[in-house]
Amino acid sequence: MSDALIGYGGKVYVESADSPFGSPPEYNELAEIQNITPPNFEVDDVDVTHMQSPNRTREFISGLIDPGEASFDMNWIPGSATDIILINLKTAGTVANWKMEWSNGTYWEFVGYVKGYEPSAETEDKMSATCTIRVSGDITTSYSL
pLDDT value for 128: 98
pTM reported for the whole predicted model: 0.88
Task: List the domain boundaries for the chain.
Answer: 11-142
On the question of pLDDT at 19 being above 80, the answer is no
Q: What CATH number belongs to 11-142?
A: 4.10.410.40
pLDDT tens digit string along 69-123?
A: 999 999 999 999 999 999 999 999 999 999 999 999 999 999 999 999 999 999 9
On the question of pLDDT at 141 being above 50, the answer is yes
Cβ contact 29:1 at 8 Å: no
Torsion of CA 22, 101, 71, 14, to 10 degrees: -30
Cβ contact 47:60 at 8 Å: yes
How many CA within 13 A on the CB side of residue 47? 5
